[in-house]
Structure 1
Amino acid sequence: MSLYPPPVREEPPVMTRVGEAIRVRGLVQGVGFRPAVWRLAREHGVSGDVCNDGEGVLIHAWADAATLDGFVAGLRSACPPLGRIDSIERYALRDAPPIAGMFRIGSSAGGRARAGVVPDAVTCRACIEETFDPSSRRYRYAFTNCTHCGPRLSIVEAIPYDRPNTTMAAFPLCEACRREYDDPADRRFHAQPVSCPACGPHLWLERSDGSLAPGDPVQAACQYIKHGKIVAIKGLGGFQLACAAADHAAVARLRALKHRERKPFALLASGVSMIERYCVVSDADKALLTCAAGPIVIMAIRSDDRNEYFPGVAPGIATLGFMLPSTPLHHLIMHSFDDPIVLTSGNLVDEPQCIDNADARTRLAGMADALLMHDRDIARRVDDSVARVVGDVPRVLRRSRGYAPAPLRMPKDFAAAPPILAMGAQQKNTFCLLRNGEAILSHHIGELANGETYRDYAKALSRYQHLFEHDASLIAVDLHPEYLSRKLGLDIARQRRLPLAGIQHHHAHFAACLAENDIGLGIDVLGIVLDGLGMGDDQALWGGEFLLGGYAGYRRLASFAPAALPGGARAIDEPWRNTYAHLRASLGWPRFAAEYATLELHDFLAARPLALIDQMIDKGINSPTASSTGRLFDAFAAALGVCRERAQYEGQAAIELEARIDRRTLHDEDDAQAYPFGIVDTGGPLLIDPRPMWLVMLEDLRRATPVPSMAARFHKGLAIAIVRMTQRLLAPTAVRIVALSGGVMQNRVLVEQLAARLAACGLTVLQHRLVPANDGGIALGQAAIAAARALVPAPASPWSTSCA
């Protein structure tokens, strides 16, 4: 018998179960978030349910308080790769708890659409392996996808993102796919585009005469391409035209048929190793190429003789734009090729690409020898995105497939802003819906002067507002009276009786950069905005601006010296006109003719109708002046004989000039050799004066200095002048933040020179990353400025504001 009494067994404390409603907002639909919540709940022993609704994901959870805290803390780490959690809100529940340990995935509920739509994503590794696995029931199936990849924006027609609200509603699931779709443990649980050869979309190859090609349509299409033909391929967001990149005749024929004489074509490669045969691929480039967005990535051509391999693909420039396969169909195609193929949008230049089978048969009939088609409808056109690594940072140049319409988080100061519709610019158009502290920037629309593109713009605008149930209380437009985006905005404002905010073009560029970099209200920054043209608030044309202020207002402290645009729009298409205007302003034609008559440039200009142009400039006939940095690039390039007579695409002269830069001159030559620019005080905004540059440049031209050295001295001299102006403007202020924006800020050499030199002055330099620096980002800035005015009726800074 024990001398000690038996120990008292302590019962575990009874934990009180409490209930909470947990609201998760962000990109949480169509990414596998609900099954991730289901698995997390089982791990923590949480009871309840999870469902999608119009605001995101709603979780009802019961457990003891500590367990619920751990469960909520685990939500962020459990978020799937394509998801993004913006906020988590918790509310007490008083409902009766379900059976302990029971957690289910509920069907989607309705409600006002506030959830983000996830962008289309490139095919994941697991689906690629399945597509090429002979034992898989999806072997060589062109539409293999799962929760972690595949179409989203291109198929969704309403929120919540469920199969009945997508173009996949036309394809009832077979029994095998239904089991995957219903199993929370399967990676295809509620993957809305899920299908297989038994129940999903199918492919066929249609010859130009309308007949069907026999056999495997993918193999047949590849044979067409290998034999020098052009094939139209129905991709994720529209039709694409493909031909062999190394087939010079096929590339030339494609250029002629598309009316695209010089603009670079994009290339499709099977993998990074293929791209490395032709381009210098950095680690940042690799990460960009292989990310879920899968953009076209612009990279430098290798310095060896391989840069002669595709002479017709990107004439006159030193870069190539490559992308990797974005869908199983593209993987299947590239499996048959050892070299890249050209893959460009299925359209004529400046038109929207075809997305409908019947439309493709009509519009591409004379361009494609065959059409590789399928029967899954495309809900909206989504072009390929374009990106480039600048300063070791990936930067989006065209935001579309893979990026749009993922909401952009606005600075916290904008949480109370009213819903705003910003109409965007005329070129590279996107529009923006702002509400609830986030901005939904549309996919790339394009040039609105084209009738088909404008109709596509109006349709996309209507569909986005319906999709996101966006009810604007304010319309924001550009100041330019001829922008079609402005005219449509005016019509919408009149029809709905809404207030209208006129936003100055360069202020919008500036504000877009501030918003992307999370700069709040009331913070003054110097914006350096360089582009082609935009209407100023003084009704003059601007294009090289130094703006001090923020969202609510600004002051124009400096600009580039205005120069005439002889012929108006013709000066954009014919760069030599800008050369003449600058030389006329800097030297005068008599002096130039007397001192530089031996130059080939003199002979070229002397053969032009200079007397007529002088008369136009002197009398102000169709020759407005503009402080345009873009036109200065055109003028300098044309003086060197680069893209002199006619520009075939926007920015061609600047792009080809950048391609010619001698890197040793750029990096090793003393700054004293850079071309000088003056700073002139006229009593108003200070001016960067190019006259000293022209005098030194003409002497180099007379000495037959190599064009690459002159191109380097121009870029370096321009950067030095901008930094000098910045230092002078900021000296009397406490401002130490600078924002770079505008289309010229896509010039890699100029931006890297500016960023390094400004940082060396102790300044913080803000740049674009996810939003294009060009007009594709204008709408975000318009929305931010309109919101700031609504939130802060009086300017937050002492600077003036622009108005309609």
Structure 2
Amino acid sequence: MTATAKNFRVNGLVQGVGFRPTVYRIAAALNLTGYVWNDAAGVGVHLEGDPEALAAFPETLIREKPPLARIDVITPEDAPFEGCEAFTITESRSEGPVVTAITADAATCRACLEDVFTAGNRRHRYAFTNCTHCGPRFTITKSLPYDRPQTSMRVFPMCPACLKEYEDPLDRRFHAQPNACPVCGPQLTLLSITGEAIPGDPVRETVRLLKEGRTVAVKGLGGFHLAVIANDAAAVARLRDRKGRSEKPLAVMCANLASAATFAQVNDAERELMLSPAHPIVLLKKRPDAPAWPGVADGLTEIGVMLPYTPLHALLFHALAGEPEGTAWLEDAVIPEALVMTSANPGGEPLVIDNDEAMRRLAHIADAVLLHNREILLRNDDSVVRVAEEGPLWVRRARGAVPESIVMPDVPGMDEASRPSVLAYGPWMKETLCQTRGGEAFLSQHIGDLENRTVVHAMKEGAEHLARILAKAPDAFACDAHPDFASTHEAERRAVESGLPLVKVPHHAAHVAAVAAEAGMTGRVLGLALDGVGLGPDGTPWGGELLALEPDHFTRLGHLAPLALPGGDRAARECWRVGAALMDAVGLADRIGEVFPETPEARQIPKLAKIERLSPRTTSLGRRFDAVTAVLGFVTVQQDEAWAAMRLEAEAQKAADAMGLADFGAFPYWPDAWQIHADGVLDMTTLDRRLVEGRLAGEDPAKLALLWQTTLTHALADWAVKLCGNDPAGAHIVLSGGCVVNRTLADGLPRLMRLRGIDAVLPHRAPPGDGGVALGQAWIALRALALGRTDYDFKA
């Protein structure tokens, strides 16, 4: 058969992941000649040979693509026959606009772990072993192109053995930019917190210190962890005290899934996530017979668990296990010790990434520091995921997921090439950034709450880094409509200095838009926005909204009945304030003293609540969670954000477990405990009064928590369906806002809506909470700019 030629253009995450060697091997297997190259758009392939083999190439490539690659599209086109005698990997080409990107940091692959734990291998016990299928990417890269001189590996020239691997297209380390070995690569050092070198093997000495109850700061991929042994209650308590983290749970790392199964229940979806290249922290349900581990996740039914994702982590567990021979222990051995691995960021500050910074900022927390001399160029915290019935919900999207893009839907009036690049600056809490490029949105790593200058500086650094790795300066900006956010101020400053347009987006419209953008929804979008507090266009704090989004404006179809917020922002911390306000709202103010006997000032809340200047009205569902948690006596003052809501959820789960109820469909609820008014207001006075009466009557608070959560879910579903069921866009309703992470809402709302013929759309790539807001801002800004506008209207 006559040989012919074709070119194939491959777009997606196809650089720095071993893609060209894979093409090389496939071409050899199909007996094809030609060449493959990288360029600004992705990967190009020229193939010559049997037409049937050419036709088989795309399907084979999709089936055999490298583990870290993502193929978005393969575009074939006819090409002139050049008479190539072999297949070669050619030099990269630089022409054209950059449309490729860096892949996320990836957990160590099994092949590299085999190298680390095989005696006699030249990388035996080497903590920086990696290949094209794993290892650091995003956090060590300064800018494109993704070549070693643009990474923090530039200061480590490869030895001849590593260089040979790097240049061999049949080696899995071909063009692995972080490639290194003990001869030429980074090295570990263990220091006391005062800076003295601790003699001996750094890994073994670290484990010795941990077993003695010490806190060790351990340098990872995107920053430092603070580590203690999880079952050492005194060490955990000391860590909490030093870090100033009194309530929120601590994540743990365990050696493998076999070890995790001894204290947590792991289903198939959770197992898949834990073993994925991202290796995030996954929220798992504790086993009934789980060890207590005081101070780790007290009062909760779930625990955040991750597996080792660097060779260093694996080496620590290897030492904890007594350094067994071979690699079977990586999967099969039950190692009882788990390590608390919490982010090294004192008091709301950014994550520590620099060695000198670690010695300075962690001096009052850690007893020793296990560091290395490979620079972290960008801080990137651990991702946190909860698996709901509908799929994963990202609580925090960072390491392992960033900077992978989210493909956006079409924008009428703009093709991808003409779309401006919008940089959205996000909200105030759980800050992330988002920059668009063509048809993709790149959501940044979790940055934190913008409550001090150091976090604001980290936000500015993040914006600069996004522009560098995308090789694209922004053409427009977007931000929250709140006038006092540091993110708003920075977006305003840059817009003024550059003369570029700025679109300000109301907080809850951005919540709904984020899910719509991820889901590829266009036109009119209906959605629930359920969160703590965000400024509404009317100047009041919103947080329980039913909205309809159009390209140029949004409408408030309904909201939760307002509740007084006595003391304003103080009520977010002092939950008893909204608890007493709830009792006042349901006509039981005279019994506030019975529920809050240790807080005498709670009796004054009804008077304070009448003064709207001191007690703004909020529609926030998050504050209602706080109020109910306080009334039931679980939390009256919370030091850490969302702690009250976590406790309420946990107590409800305990009740369900005690009653033998494993599925939302079996959970009891109070029917007819809510009203939907003609103006679209969801009034839950009956539900809240029944809750308070049950508490006063001495009913089991955990059962009341379960009843309230389940009934709330039925009420929200009923409300959304009745107000949107006849809407032309009502076949789909977006679920957004931080409250959606609540398992009862995440599992129950889609199920109840589906029973009525409506599809509830949850986000599975971006967080439903404030960590996804920047994506919604960017999407709304693009739609507004396509209409020649720089505003996004609200119509009451």
With normalisation by structure 1, the TM-score equals 0.92
Q: Tell me which of 190, 198, 213 is aligned to 2:183.
A: 198
Q: Secondary structure at the match of 2:139?
A: coil
Measure, in 2, the Cα distance between the counterparts of 1:393 and 1:276. Answer: 21
| 1:62 CA displacement | 4.1
1:102/1:759 CA distance change after superposition, 3 Å:
closer
Deviations along 1:207-230, whole A, 9 cap, x unmatched? Answer: 122111111100000000000000
Deviations along 1:749-773, whole A, 9 cap, x unmatched? Answer: 1221212111111111111112101
Answering whether residue 749 of structure 2 is matched by residue 754 of structure 1, we say yes
**In the alignment, what sits opposite 1:85?**
71
Answering whether residue 319 of structure 2 is matched by residue 336 of structure 1, we say yes
**In the alignment, what sits opposite 1:8?**
none
Q: Which amino acid aligns with 1:618?
A: K
Name the Cα RMSD after superposition. Answer: 2.3
Answering whether residue 708 of structure 2 is matched by residue 717 of structure 1, we say no
- Asked if 2 retains the 8 angstrom alpha-carbon contact of 1:49 and 1:106, the reply is no
Answering whether residue 113 of structure 2 is matched by residue 122 of structure 1, we say no
**In the alignment, what sits opposite 1:32?**
18
Q: Tell me which of 731, 736, 753 is aligned to 1:736.
A: 731
Answering whether residue 589 of structure 2 is matched by residue 592 of structure 1, we say yes
Larger Rg: 1
**In the alignment, what sits opposite 1:10?**
none
**In the alignment, what sits opposite 1:493?**
495
**In the alignment, what sits opposite 1:697?**
691
Answering whether residue 96 of structure 2 is matched by residue 101 of structure 1, we say no
| 1:415 CA displacement | 4.6
Number of residues of Structure 1 aligned to a counterpart in Structure 2: 769
**In the alignment, what sits opposite 1:4?**
none
Measure, in 1, the Cα distance between the counterparts of 2:545 and 2:114. Answer: 52
| 1:514 CA displacement | 1.3
| 1:23 CA displacement | 2.7
Answering whether residue 752 of structure 2 is matched by residue 788 of structure 1, we say no
Answering whether residue 191 of structure 2 is matched by residue 189 of structure 1, we say no
**In the alignment, what sits opposite 1:400?**
398
- Asked if 2 retains the 8 angstrom alpha-carbon contact of 1:674 and 1:716, the reply is no
The aligned runs of 1:30-69 (5 Å cut-off) are: 30-63=16-49, 67-69=53-55
Measure, in 1, the Cα distance between the counterparts of 2:266 and 2:28. Answer: 44
**In the alignment, what sits opposite 1:660?**
651
Identity %: 39
Q: Which amino acid aligns with 2:530?
A: L
Measure, in 1, the Cα distance between the counterparts of 2:266 and 2:452. Answer: 36
Q: Which amino acid aligns with 2:595?
A: L
Q: Which amino acid aligns with 1:608?
A: E
**In the alignment, what sits opposite 1:250?**
235
| 1:288 CA displacement | 1.2
Q: Which amino acid aligns with 2:216?
A: V
Answering whether residue 56 of structure 2 is matched by residue 70 of structure 1, we say yes
| 1:627 CA displacement | 0.5
Deviations along 1:470-520, whole A, 9 cap, x unmatched? Answer: 22222111111111111111111111111111111111111111122222x
Measure, in 2, the Cα distance between the counterparts of 1:712 and 1:102. Answer: 64
Q: Tell me which of 254, 258, 262 is aligned to 1:277.
A: 262
- Asked if 2 retains the 8 angstrom alpha-carbon contact of 1:31 and 1:148, the reply is yes
Answering whether residue 310 of structure 2 is matched by residue 319 of structure 1, we say no
| 1:730 CA displacement | 2.3
Q: Secondary structure at the match of 1:608?
A: helix
- Asked if 1 retains the 8 angstrom alpha-carbon contact of 2:513 and 2:779, the reply is yes
Task: Report the more deviating stretch, 155-164 or 174-183.
Answer: 155-164
Q: Tell me which of 354, 361, 364 is aligned to 1:363.
A: 361
**In the alignment, what sits opposite 2:323?**
none
Answering whether residue 423 of structure 2 is matched by residue 440 of structure 1, we say no
Measure, in 1, the Cα distance between the counterparts of 2:61 and 2:553. Answer: 40
| 1:90 CA displacement | 4.3
**In the alignment, what sits opposite 1:6?**
none
**In the alignment, what sits opposite 2:331?**
none
Q: Secondary structure at the match of 1:526?
A: strand
**In the alignment, what sits opposite 2:640?**
649
Task: Report the more deviating stretch, 656-665 or 58-67.
Answer: 58-67
- Asked if 1 retains the 8 angstrom alpha-carbon contact of 2:24 and 2:87, the reply is no
Q: Secondary structure at the match of 1:708?
A: helix
Q: Which amino acid aligns with 1:311?
A: P
1:518/1:541 CA distance change after superposition, 3 Å:
same
Deviations along 1:652-696, whole A, 9 cap, x unmatched? Answer: 111101101111397587856368222233xxx411123212321
| 1:544 CA displacement | 0.2
Q: Secondary structure at the match of 2:793?
A: coil
1:670/1:432 CA distance change after superposition, 3 Å:
closer
**In the alignment, what sits opposite 1:538?**
538
Q: Secondary structure at the match of 1:721?
A: helix
1:381/1:111 CA distance change after superposition, 3 Å:
farther
Measure, in 1, the Cα distance between the counterparts of 2:27 and 2:553. Answer: 49
Answering whether residue 632 of structure 2 is matched by residue 640 of structure 1, we say yes
Measure, in 1, the Cα distance between the counterparts of 2:727 and 2:747. Answer: 25
Measure, in 1, the Cα distance between the counterparts of 2:31 and 2:784. Answer: 49
Measure, in 2, the Cα distance between the counterparts of 1:330 and 1:512. Answer: 35
Q: Secondary structure at the match of 1:566?
A: coil
Q: Which amino acid aligns with 1:317?
A: L
**In the alignment, what sits opposite 2:147?**
162
- Asked if 2 retains the 8 angstrom alpha-carbon contact of 1:113 and 1:160, the reply is no
Q: Secondary structure at the match of 1:603?
A: coil
Task: Report the more deviating stretch, 196-205 or 722-731.
Answer: 722-731
Deviations along 1:552-592, whole A, 9 cap, x unmatched? Answer: 433211100112211111011111111122222331xxx53
The aligned runs of 1:194-593 (5 Å cut-off) are: 194-304=179-289, 306-308=290-292, 310-337=293-320, 338=335, 339-391=337-389, 393-413=391-411, 415-416=415-416, 417-519=419-521, 521-522=522-523, 524-587=524-587, 592-593=589-590
- Asked if 1 retains the 8 angstrom alpha-carbon contact of 2:509 and 2:549, the reply is no
With normalisation by structure 2, the TM-score equals 0.93
**In the alignment, what sits opposite 1:7?**
none
Measure, in 1, the Cα distance between the counterparts of 2:528 and 2:496. Answer: 34
Q: Secondary structure at the match of 2:426?
A: coil
- Asked if 2 retains the 8 angstrom alpha-carbon contact of 1:41 and 1:103, the reply is no
| 1:392 CA displacement | 5.9
1:289/1:245 CA distance change after superposition, 3 Å:
same
